[in-house]
Amino acid sequence: MAFCSEEINFVLIPLMAPGHTIPMVDLAKLLASRGVTITILLTSLHATRFKAVIDRAVSSGLLIRLRQLQFPAEEAGLPAGCESFDALPSYFLVTNFFAAINKLRDPAEKIIEEITPRPRCIICDRNIHWTAQTAEKFQIPRILFDGMSCFSQMSIHNLYILQDDNRIPETAPFLIPDMPDRIEVRRAQLPGAFNPGTLDMGDVREQIRASEAGAYGYIINSFEELEQKYVEEFRKVKGGKNVWCVGPLSLCNEDSVDKAQRGNPTTSIDQENFLKWLDSRQPGSVVYACLGSLARFTIAQFIELALGLEDSNRPFILVVKAGDKQLEVERWISENQFEERVQNRSLLIRGWAPQVLILSHPSIGAFLTHCGWNSTLEGITAGVPLITWPLFAEQFLNEKFVLNVIGTGVSVGSESIMFMLEEDRSKRKVGRENVRSAIERAMEQGKEGNRVREAARKVGEMAKKAVQVGGSSHLNLTLLIQQIIISAQNN
């Protein structure tokens, strides 16, 4: 039986966290733009967040269908309405969150049974391990989407080998073995699998790792020209399985409205006035500072960030998102008249920020980032230098990639991870002088600044070419669709 792409239905199941769902929705749009039917399963909260973007895509003719899953928050011991990682009030509820995710299998399979045309593959977040059994039940390929680069995938693969041999030093710096580049780290900078926090997540991690064995392939939000050596190494360690680099996925958002609403339809800023403010600044003059949606800074650390930006004497945008410390942060801002002091050259954004829209503006000269892979790749794509301040998970590895492999950033000097959703317990703060100095080094007209900016410009151009017709990511997406059509014909 012959298939056309419109008869091929891909089911997408993202993890309930902004940094995982956002690129999966981008992927849905990208696949649908090639004529594939997409069914994406979202919980109620994420359906609300992404409905406007999906509705616009559907109105433009894309075949995307949104189906909702009821997230069993209270049944798993979570607060009512707690449906996303960024809504968790405490890190100690992460195991409850995964327990709730595990309860989604039956309702998800009920939807898969009902939808037409019959699904021909599942693209799922690698952290949702029960999709392995679901794919086996429906006899369709399971493709894993992981929000990490191939560089970080290879780093973690080699770190597991070291850990199994008990060869990760407690405090001394060491080289990650078998990497094409020299990558030196300390245990304190590693993800929780190698540097555990106060909560034992070992069982969850092992379930996720075990479920990868039967995966049909991997979709990576990256592009081959950015990390070719690591893409090749990743394919080798996965036994020659399919690895499709199809990014940067954020580039599927060409419309300014899609850029502004990507990830959340609401923001605290007036878009028209916001863009006027950016338009009034010189090209390459503004520092954009955003440390992601899950960080839990102490008030003392936030103050050092804010004062470092102020001391830089450069215009800046600061995203103020402090979780349960938000009231303390706002009190400090008010009592110290911080916003009034810097109002002539700054914008403070509370809550969600339209990051892709901001980074695409020519006035942005540097991006101070927590080095989550989405943000890192969005900065790379924009062609701006990165000021790196990794916080948790694999973010120190992403920093190593930026600094040591592609050379597009400078570091504020953060030395150890904080644990996701936990307050930073580190005794050593990143001081305001570190922040000011890193900004100066990234934006100065001297040797280092010029080198970093030129490297950033070059990889930004490479990123845009990768997704164009004839580019590597455009071709990989074609190959992915063709592979699933062949698989469907054989079944």
The yes-or-no answer to whether 5-252+468-490 and 264-464 have a common fold is: yes
Residue 81 DSSP code: T
Alpha helices for 228-372 (secondary structure H): 228-237, 256-261, 271-279, 299-311, 326-335, 338-341, 355-359
What per-residue confidence (pLDDT) applies to 166?
A: 95
**Cis before 107? omega within 30:** no
Residue 428 binned pLDDT confidence (cut-offs 50, 70, 90): low
- C-alpha 264, offset from chain centre: 15
What per-residue confidence (pLDDT) applies to 3?
A: 46
CB within 8 Å of 198: residues ≥ 6 apart: 91, 92, 419, 422
Alpha helices for 321-401 (secondary structure H): 326-335, 338-341, 355-359, 373-382, 395-400
Which of 8-12, 195-199, 231-235 shows the lowest mean pLDDT across its residues?
195-199
Q: In the numeric block, which tokens belong to residue 382? A: 């924009």
Q: In the numeric block, which tokens belong to residue 17? A: 């966290």
pTM metric for this prediction: 0.95
Which residues, in sequence order, are bridge partners of residue 245? 220
CA-CA-CA-CA torsion for 205, 208, 210, 214, nearest 10 degrees? -160
**pLDDT of 46 over the 70 cut:** yes
Q: How far apart are CA 231 and CA 244, in angstroms?
A: 9
pLDDT digits (tens, 9 = 90+) for 247-265: 999 999 987 788 877 777 6
Specify the amino acid at residue 346: S
What is the fold, at CATH topology level, of the domain defined by 5-252+468-490?
A: Rossmann fold (3.40.50)
pLDDT digits (tens, 9 = 90+) for 321-380: 877 778 899 999 999 999 999 999 999 998 888 999 999 999 999 999 999 999 999 999
Residue 212 DSSP code: G
For domain 264-464, the CATH class is alpha beta
What per-residue confidence (pLDDT) applies to 490?
A: 83
Residue 204 binned pLDDT confidence (cut-offs 50, 70, 90): confident
What per-residue confidence (pLDDT) applies to 171?
A: 94
Mean pLDDT of the region 41-67: 94
What per-residue confidence (pLDDT) applies to 427?
A: 56
What per-residue confidence (pLDDT) applies to 309?
A: 98
* Alpha-carbon separation of residue 280 from 269, 276, 283, 310 (angstroms): 17, 6, 9, 19
Q: Where are the domains of the chain?
A: 5-252+468-490, 264-464
